[in-house]
Homo-oligomer: A and B are copies of this chain.
Amino acid sequence: MATTTSELITKAKAARAATRDLRNLSTDKKNAALEAIAVALETQQTAILEANALDMEAGASAGLTDALLDRLMLNEDRLNGMASDVRTIVRLPDPIGETFDGRTLDNGLRVERRRVPLGVIGTIYESRPNVTVDIAALCLKSGNAVVLRGGKEAVHSNNALAALLRSALTQAGINPEIVQQIVDTDRAVVEQMIKANDYIDLIIPRGGAGLVNYVAKEATVPAITGGIGVVHTFADATADVENAVDIVFNSKVQRPTVCNALDTLLVHAAVAPKLLPLVAAKLSAAGVELRCDQRALSLIGPVYGDSVKAATAEDFGQEFLALVLSVRVVDSLDEALEHIEEHGSGHTETILTQDYTSTNRFLDEVDAAMVMVNASTRFNDGAQLGLGAEVAISTNKLHARGPMGLRELTSYKWVARGDGQVRR
């Protein structure tokens, strides 16, 4: 425990101290450092791949699943892909120094707000080593120091990547202490990190629901909660049936393992007899399992064999992250709103409708990071919405909600320029 404390606190302190060097770096200098990182990822692959081989070996003997081993694995292509992602961040506008709400008060005092870095970001993540580079690059561009705490399985890869990052920073003339990698893989480090209020300004957990919920419940450092999406689409009585089938299909099938994929389809009874058989045909052909309430079941029937089942209570309010969709028939918009209020996670909620009043009521009354009409839930995504890179999709209401880009990694300060103003 003593060593644990001292590694985290020592490194978090070093990150905090380094923020002064980072606050006012020019965009050119930050971009040059990012380019140096990209070049290093392309030209210094041997050390990284050797370290990754150690993780892969340890993972295989520890019996990690193929899916987990695949997340852990690095190769030439993946390192080149990481370099290319860093260059994407080079091209994004620098949020630091942006000013807004500028005006001159009656007394002549000129006031504005100016974007500044948050300070030190702490990230806790799981097996993918690319997160190490991704988050460090986003933090550098937004002027933040970072304390990285990756998963135990990826510790050799992460150490090698952190060494690469720090050496590229040094080479670019930037204090390497702005990137800190925690080597200790003890779980206790996470607990210390989320309570290190004196040194860390924001915690971003990137991982499964277990990690995210743990951080949300225990952290005294402000934390972004996100990535858990129990996502609904409600096909209203007036939904355009052809559009609805396409949107539901895209929302469920295009990438089922992510947080903005559809989990539950609610269908108005007036459109269900027409819509549900078409949805069932298209989705079951794509390998989606439909878990239906009694009314939906009676409309779809046994035509699709094993891919249509009776839903249990647990199938509503669940994030599947897989080719599974729960389906319920409702009698009204109110019943749909009630269902979403009870079962939603405040992530992404969509109505399919041609009705003006239903649209307004849905957009007004549903409390979620993103509410949509007649479009795929998969658009709740930073890149799709034009933010460039995405740090997380927040379901917090404080600070930032929905997709978070570079700007959401900033704070602001008030700046006032006077010529002798005093208060009367």
| Residue ranges of A at the interface with B (Cβ–Cβ < 8 Å) | 19-20, 23-24, 103, 105, 109, 111, 113, 116, 118-119, 197, 201-202, 216-220, 222, 240, 243, 246-247, 249-251, 254, 341, 359, 363-365, 367-376, 378-380, 384-386, 396-399, 401-403, 411-423
Once the chains are docked, how many angstroms separate the CA of A396 from the CA of B217? 20
14 residue pairs of the A-B complex, CB under 8 angstroms, read A23-B364, A116-B367, A220-B220, A222-B398, A250-B423, A363-B415, A370-B415, A371-B414, A372-B415, A372-B416, A375-B419, A376-B422, A376-B423, A378-B422
* Count of chain copies: 2
Q: Is the CB of B422 within 8 A of A386?
A: no
Closest to A416 in B: B372
Q: Would you call the interface of chain A mostly helix, strand, loop, or mixed?
A: mixed
Q: Is the CB of B402 within 8 A of A109?
A: no
By a CB distance below 8 angstroms, the chain B residues around A219 are 220
Once the chains are docked, how many angstroms separate the CA of A421 from the CA of B415? 43
By a CB distance below 8 angstroms, the chain B residues around A240 are 420
Q: Is the CB of B109 within 8 A of A367?
A: no
Once the chains are docked, how many angstroms separate the CA of A401 from the CA of B416? 14
Given A246-B420, A418-B375, A421-B376: A105 and B386 within 8 A (CB)? yes
Looking at the complex, which one of B116, B254, B375 makes contact with A420 (CB distance below 8 Å)? B375
Q: Is the CB of B247 within 8 A of A365?
A: no
Q: Is the CB of B422 within 8 A of A367?
A: no
Q: Is the CB of B379 within 8 A of A423?
A: yes
By a CB distance below 8 angstroms, the chain B residues around A422 are 246-247, 249-251, 254, 375-376, 378
Q: Is the CB of A247 within 8 A of B414?
A: no
By a CB distance below 8 angstroms, the chain B residues around A371 are 413-416
Q: Is the CB of A413 within 8 A of B367?
A: yes
Query: What's the least CB distance linking A383 to chain B, in Å?
Result: 10
Once the chains are docked, how many angstroms separate the CA of A416 from the CA of B403? 13
Q: Is the CB of A119 within 8 A of B397?
A: yes
Q: Is the CB of B109 within 8 A of A375?
A: yes
Contacts A116-B367, A222-B398, A370-B415 known; 12 new A-B pairs at CB < 8 A: A19-B367, A111-B385, A201-B398, A243-B420, A250-B423, A359-B417, A369-B414, A378-B422, A379-B418, A401-B412, A401-B414, A403-B414
By a CB distance below 8 angstroms, the chain B residues around A364 are 23-24
Given A219-B220, A220-B217, A398-B411: A378 and B423 within 8 A (CB)? yes
By a CB distance below 8 angstroms, the chain B residues around A397 are 118-119, 201-202, 411
Interface centre among A111, A249, A251 (most CB of B within 10 A): A111
Once the chains are docked, how many angstroms separate the CA of A77 from the CA of B201? 44
Query: What's the least CB distance linking A203 to chain B, in Å?
Result: 11
Once the chains are docked, how many angstroms separate the CA of A60 from the CA of B138? 58
Closest to A378 in B: B423
Closest to A349 in B: B413
Closest to A116 in B: B367
By a CB distance below 8 angstroms, the chain B residues around A105 are 384-386
By a CB distance below 8 angstroms, the chain B residues around A217 are 197, 220
Closest to A417 in B: B373
Interface centre among A109, A219, A367, A398 (most CB of B within 10 A): A398
Once the chains are docked, how many angstroms separate the CA of A414 from the CA of B379? 11
By a CB distance below 8 angstroms, the chain B residues around A399 are 398-399
Closest to A244 in B: B420
Q: Is the CB of B416 within 8 A of A373?
A: yes
Once the chains are docked, how many angstroms separate the CA of A143 from the CA of B403? 24
